[in-house]
Amino acid sequence: MNPLKFTPPLRVKAVMIDLDGTLLDTIPDLAAAANNMLVEMGRTPLPESAIRNYVGKGIANLIERTLTNSMDGKPDPASFERAVPIYERCYTAANGRHTTMYPGVKEGLDVLRAQGYPLVCVTNKSERFTLPLLDYVELSGYFKTVVAGDTLPQKKPDPAPLLHACTQLGVAPNEMLMIGDSLNDAQAARAAGCPVFCVNYGYNEGHDVRTLDVDAIVASLMDATRLIERIN
């Protein structure tokens, strides 16, 4: 864990949690969908390790990166337009089938709920994939609300989804903790004025989580609950 960058007490009143890479390892499903899309388009599948680095800014970015096998590549518009419905169909079929929950997630959610913290899931994944996935892994009941990638016009790292969650719960941004795994989460939290913890696993688009501007790095959601209790 890195040194705390805020001055205790933190006074957390509610907690927002990212989905992909924080609660769940969804890479096997995302990679299966992306590679099935490539095969259907007559292209060569990619290693799962490559696709892992392409996850983080929503479906459109994942499709673009997969089609070009590049973090910043832009496919031709016709290829992208053809790929989108293929990917969405492939991911609908794969969603949740090979996903696993990270260690400490269920226990951490149980503790946060028992301690009375309202919880929000804030993700860049589209709602039509997010809600069935949360149902499939039996996590839906933990969250007061879900802010998905298409709930608003903006996605993380824009602060709008986090501020929307704060409004939904009636909690000030400086009292709403964000727990995520990536630069998107860190930047969104900083812009929104929310404290932020990051887990030391997940998908950070190939970057070391220790380079992020966060208040703490934790090894699990359960460790995050212990830190909240210590500083709150």
Q: Which amino acid is at 117?
A: Y
Which residues are within 8 A (CB) of 219 and not within 5 positions of it... i.e. 6 or more apart?
1, 104, 199, 200, 201
- Rounded CA gap, 221 and 197, in Å? 10
Q: Residue 151 in contact with residue 126, Cβ under 8 Å?
A: no
Residue 119, SS3 per DSSP: strand
Distance of CA 169 to the CA centre of its chain: 20
Contact 162, 1 (CB under 8 A): no
18 is catalytic: yes
Catalytic residue among 18, 181, 215, 223: 18
Length of the chain: 232
Query: Nearest-CA neighbor of 207 among 215, 217, 192, 221?
Result: 217
- Give the C-alpha separation, 215 to 222, whole Å: 16
Q: Please identify every residue annotated as catalytic.
A: 18
